[in-house]
Structure 1
């Protein structure tokens, strides 16, 4: 299909008439507002009791279409005219309303006497009207009702709609503008001591239906004409460019009416509107207007400058990468004080948390800067992959989010080529998702369409598997195809399906065409290879015997006694691309196509060593025979630089996880850390600390903890003093990004393991700030670890100071550092008070509540307090976060990850059973995974505690 979307002259003329009529109906809707404006408060119930026509209830049997969660294939939307008026009052913690109307032109593709359109938490203020575009009389709507469970507005007709005919449905409604962070909602901030309120949106995945009645499925693409009515002192933004802003008076109220250009053909979940008093900065890159919007104070302080600087280069990179021009005329990006996700790829109006878009060079760290670059890159990648071409249904969400999670590193690398950021996918995504995908309760990337129906099931897919495993397997695919072939197939896919919908196999087909045209030989088609990685959960461990050259693969499970909860269509066998390094020289690609194989290239003789999975380009773990492990340990101790940095990190991560799964002994895994006293690179150190975190979780409540602390202190002290020297006694900043990150590791671990010089250093820095709170001289890169260490070593005085600084700062990245550090206190009553603060959105923003509880649970003192807290408050927590919060599963996993006793297992199972009637929403799978993880932890402690104790004793005595 060509670019753009053609509208016939007849349809366009009707659209104009419908739009004019819709503006007139706002007058009637304003009566609702004027009635509510006189009230002192507006409760949710007030919205429900607004005068609404009485419609016939349903008594139909459960097999009727309105009891099904998917729309029938009878009607297809073509375009919408939507007018919305958010009634904002500049007062704290309000629930306001918005009024509006929507006319949708839809085509009937199969005869039907039923109209189903999504509508959730909207109250109609007039009877819907139906008109036929042909001018012939349309069927009469004889009964209408809301089907709450499936979130439909149901309209039964007195006769059937005609196949091939187009109709216009007009609805008028009032909705709640609350603080729920979904649909059309309020966001608050303070400016010059005054409360300021924003009306903003978050539609993904199923909340457009909270804003106006619509066909709210990703395949139901249409074009949208958006008009916003708003106060004179505010600006209005939407997906398209503003084409008109005029003054109007409605029911005696003077307003601005802002109209936007018609959108491209797109899905409802990508719509966005914002009404605010924000300011912006702008520049034009080629033909694209780029604007950064934020609080006036943030814009005037230059906090949007970095985002503006890198957006153009990243857009240009993706235009080249996709070989497709950016499809819009503008790219607005806006930083919101309250936002549930990190960012959202609304086409032409991307919404962000403030921490994901705003950078203050005096306060923000290098990590904050990297996060901004990668998130902007992620969202801009979606402008093509996801927005221009959209998956038909949410069961293939992984391809949309996994792809953006992979190429975000490529876009950020283009903007910041000195960072060497592409390697971080190994730590941030591959190693991270391995931990989840090695559970028997994991799930495949692609689910069956019929298994993903309810909104909470859709929300549950926004997890580590979809994002990080999706990124990992696509990176593997790009590697074995080679990037030129990968981008050739990708460009063909995007150009062929632009403005339409696909299933993931469509991408395989276009990649296969690129493979054929290049003459590249693969053992199977792209689809045959990749379906094994997409349609079965988990990943393999490849075991190589370097004496015989034998290779085997098997499904890797952290708990070897567990059984996968799903039957694999491929018997848990994968087509594995293996590229190895033999004694420092790279080998050609080898394909392992069965459970067992033999290849002489995998043989070595002493003193040769072999490492498979070069640069961790494949999504699998590797085990070796004992002799090869011994050679690798020897080379690490004698000349570790011979092994590439990524593969040094790989050896450590593979060894620790192979030991947990009982493939190798635990002491072999611990041996991989002995060389670290000589290691200065970030990736091996961070991998080690990630894996030792499990040991801390298992041992920080028993006698092994002291031995573990002594050993880690022995290994990290040389790193601490290395950075002391390299930074001229902490007065300079390391030049490389990875060195900056490793400096943080050096200070964090030196302080937490009791290196006295480190503890004195951070106490002194923090005390200087307390003595003169107007001047904070602590290096932004080090603030997170300094704040945490100082609060952990202090008491109420330090905590109260940090809390005051948290409340007073107007820089979101600084507030985030302080909010996390406040959870580091070792005083139980302080942590209990902090937990209570999460129930009050005036103290802890609703977007931050679950992560604050997780921060507290990460603290050994805070973990039992957090567990008691969520059990006592589960009904409230679930009602606030259970249905659609992307972070909700993280809450359950975060609070229970330390569980390692039968008593805790029983508590967890009891918690599951006691709250079966309340439910777990998007955290349902997380409950199962937590129970599985706890059982595995119990067994691991039973089998390894004595062995680890003995090894640590010897290692600390040497």
Structure 2
């Protein structure tokens, strides 16, 4: 049902008293919620979902009500408008959907245990208590919880516990906040605490299945992140504590509940002695992201879900700003370039993609807004552009003013642009709205026309796209002063190229630093000039050349065959970002070859050539003096050598496996996945499969479990593939939160793809019942679209998903992904012969 009238328009709560009595054994809870607020009309609606409402009182008198299941509502008729106190009593059931109030399952020494946690974003608070479950409906909350308590259990919430009476835990009154940020959890938890310089208590909590030292890294990052943000925002952290909680079952990566941030265990807890650097960086940025939200999202919240980007894009940028300040040796902005920027540019080039700012009314469609490549990654790139335009001084001054004006309240994107614009004395909104309100981005063509250096912009598409005259205000960031700071027109002439080149002394470049959201197509003269000077360029510039050529090739504007002979120029770079970009292009060549064909043998030889020098330099094990770049580059080149079926690489990995067979978890985390996968692919057996599957079930190390998943899903044994898919619906082995990674691994395996595709089509209803309420659900479709590349698979994809186009929350994803697969099929048909010939030529 379309929610054209938001419930907040009829009833505006100011305070909630919430009492919950939770019985884990029965998976039931009862509740009593008292809401004080203002009724704007006599007929009001309160959100609820799955609650059995027993009674409703208004100012102490029973009132009639009806339950409107379609609208997730209790509809109440009041005797008068104005101030009113509602008291609603109800019963409900704990869910197993990782939404609302739900149990998380884990084992300690073979004993099964559970802790209770919550997940209320986007609109699942209504599954826990009746409320106006909309971001704008901010109120204060008093929470009291009783549960079937055992000895040695802990209960935590957004605010500190102030007393325990008759087994009821009472928590301090919250500040004014949105319902989706309420959280609590209880069970047998261990914790480590510290205090920031300003006196905020910081804690990390996890189950006792983990070693105590697995909490240390997160505690350090959380403490220093809060201290950094208090300084950067020039606004104090507004709560007495900041708890970070790892839940064994958690659908998303993490959730910014105010004062009680919840995380998937993989993104909070880690072995400080054996975790790869890139995983440490991932955990650090996730923590910094969620803590950025404590101000941007929690203190000031978007007015409605159409401004979701306001929360997520900003936190996505700030996680890098923070970690760059806390760990400067990590050069974390390089990670932004090879992950966020690449994802945004790829996704945003498909016709029909959503804009960053999206109108949405139907609550069932809200979860579909969480397109990570757009709302998170593209939005963050927009804000990086804005930061570059206004500078850090104006950014910080604008944010301080923004927080002061809107704290404990709501805001829109226009409010942010106004604050930044005032601080920078610039119409930031006019520039940014061209990026915020329309989908896609331009390719800026730089060409010499009749001796003149000219620039023009046109929307860039991968696959078929309808040109409708979209234009952007493009921050060009050129290294030539003749180029305007911002390209506002369709085209512009900069002057006589020969004179400009002579005066500059360097090749003409656009988007220096790769911070603006566009790509560049240089004509052959300009491109040759760049390539002839490429070794003198910094790593980001080299990444950008490879990135733009890859996208232009995907979009059919240049030939992949022309890109192939350029790759060897970058093969010996010691920069991680260059290697990431290089092997992304090389990896894309795999779609042009048929498995076990002569063309694939040539491609494997090419991979061997690209990686040989680096493999010899880096080896399999870390050296005492190696750089962060060396650590992060090693996985790219080892993976390439193994794809190439390099006999030395296969033997080296097998030797490492044999030497560590009794303690595989202690293999160096940076190479462990390659050792395990190599063993399954080249030395596999039923016994090895059983050994790995048992290790997966027993381990609590998320990084090791991910490596085992990657290894197991690479098997070519049909019987083992069948057994593996048989575990997909066994939550004792594969938790629903982890299933997508297993499904993707099997689907990407040529020997197993058919079985995985058959499973998801046959058991789609089970999947929908199990994880269908999750904002990540549609990404199962994204995963399929990222792999399929034949006309037959496209036809099967359409046959299965087109009948589901009317499903709320799936419509855009299905439509987009049909285009994604179709464009890949067309590209392969057009380019396959030329690409294979180009690869054959470079390996002769």
Equivalent in the alignment of 2:309: 398
Deviation readout 1:517-556 (Å, 9 max, x if unpaired) = xxxxx6xx21111110000000011111255221000000
SS in structure 2 of the partner of residue 623 of structure 1: strand
Equivalent in the alignment of 2:42: 113
Matching of residues 345-384 of structure 1 within 5 Å: 345-384=256-295
Equivalent in the alignment of 2:835: 948
Could you tell me how far 1:901 is from its partner in structure 2?
A: 2.8
Q: Distance in 1 between matches of 2:702 and 2:790?
A: 39
CA contact (8 A) 1:866 1:895 kept: no
Q: Distance in 1 between matches of 2:261 and 2:668?
A: 31
CA contact (8 A) 2:285 2:323 kept: yes
Point out which structure has higher relative CO (alpha carbons under 8 A, 6+ apart).
2
Q: Distance in 1 between matches of 2:374 and 2:748?
A: 22
TM-score (norm 1): 0.84
Could you tell me how far 1:296 is from its partner in structure 2?
A: 2.4
Q: Distance in 2 between matches of 1:602 and 1:326?
A: 53
Could you tell me how far 1:734 is from its partner in structure 2?
A: 5.9
- Answering whether residue 485 of structure 2 is matched by residue 554 of structure 1, we say no
Q: 2:170 aligns with which of 256, 259, 275?
A: 259
Matching of residues 169-248 of structure 1 within 5 Å: 169-230=86-147, 231-233=149-151, 234-246=153-165, 248=166
Equivalent in the alignment of 2:674: 785
CA contact (8 A) 1:130 1:170 kept: yes
Work out which of the two has the higher radius of gyration on C-alpha atoms and give 1 or 2: 1
SS in structure 1 of the partner of residue 730 of structure 2: coil
Report the CA distance shift for 1:674/1:904 in structure 2 as closer, same or farther (over 3 A).
Answer: same
SS in structure 2 of the partner of residue 347 of structure 1: coil
- Answering whether residue 648 of structure 2 is matched by residue 747 of structure 1, we say no
Could you tell me how far 1:239 is from its partner in structure 2?
A: 0.3
Matching of residues 615-694 of structure 1 within 5 Å: 615-636=513-534, 640=535, 642-694=536-588
CA contact (8 A) 1:86 1:199 kept: no
Report the CA distance shift for 1:892/1:193 in structure 2 as closer, same or farther (over 3 A).
Answer: same
Alignment: residue pair count: 834
CA contact (8 A) 1:315 1:326 kept: yes
Q: Distance in 1 between matches of 2:421 and 2:571?
A: 47
Deviation readout 1:637-685 (Å, 9 max, x if unpaired) = xxx1x11100100100101211222222323322331213332211111
Q: Distance in 1 between matches of 2:430 and 2:782?
A: 34
Comparing 259-268 with 415-424, greater Cα deviation is found at: 415-424
Equivalent in the alignment of 1:129: 57
SS in structure 1 of the partner of residue 509 of structure 2: strand
Which sections of structure 1, spanning at least 5 residues, go unmatched?
Answer: 1-61, 90-94, 133-137, 249-255, 517-521
Q: Distance in 1 between matches of 2:465 and 2:592?
A: 20
Q: 2:387 aligns with which of 465, 474, 478?
A: 478
Q: Distance in 1 between matches of 2:352 and 2:696?
A: 39
CA contact (8 A) 1:83 1:100 kept: yes
Matching of residues 830-849 of structure 1 within 5 Å: 830-849=720-739
SS in structure 2 of the partner of residue 804 of structure 1: helix
Could you tell me how far 1:765 is from its partner in structure 2?
A: 1.4
CA contact (8 A) 2:476 2:486 kept: yes
Deviation readout 1:679-705 (Å, 9 max, x if unpaired) = 221111111222333221342445532
Q: Distance in 2 between matches of 1:318 and 1:700?
A: 51
TM-score (norm 2): 0.95
Q: 1:495 aligns with which of 379, 404, 407?
A: 404
Comparing 471-480 with 847-856, greater Cα deviation is found at: 847-856
Q: 2:699 aligns with which of 809, 813, 822?
A: 809
CA contact (8 A) 2:571 2:611 kept: yes
CA contact (8 A) 1:717 1:755 kept: no
SS in structure 2 of the partner of residue 259 of structure 1: strand
Matching of residues 846-861 of structure 1 within 5 Å: 846-861=736-751
Q: 1:610 aligns with which of 505, 508, 532?
A: 508
Report the CA distance shift for 1:834/1:456 in structure 2 as closer, same or farther (over 3 A).
Answer: farther
Q: 2:441 aligns with which of 530, 539, 556?
A: 539
Which sections of structure 2, spanning at least 5 residues, go unmatched?
Answer: none
Equivalent in the alignment of 2:715: 825
- Answering whether residue 496 of structure 2 is matched by residue 598 of structure 1, we say no
Deviation readout 1:835-880 (Å, 9 max, x if unpaired) = 2212111111111112221122222223222211111111111222
Could you tell me how far 1:587 is from its partner in structure 2?
A: 8.3
Comparing 385-394 with 546-555, greater Cα deviation is found at: 546-555
Deviation readout 1:498-521 (Å, 9 max, x if unpaired) = 0110111111111111122xxxxx
Deviation readout 1:34-69 (Å, 9 max, x if unpaired) = xxxxxxxxxxxxxxxxxxxxxxxxxxxx9xxx9757
Q: 1:563 aligns with which of 466, 477, 484?
A: 466
Equivalent in the alignment of 2:761: 871
SS in structure 2 of the partner of residue 678 of structure 1: coil
Equivalent in the alignment of 2:19: 83
Q: Distance in 2 between matches of 1:579 and 1:664?
A: 24
Report the CA distance shift for 1:426/1:319 in structure 2 as closer, same or farther (over 3 A).
Answer: same
CA-based RMSD of the aligned residues comes to: 2.1
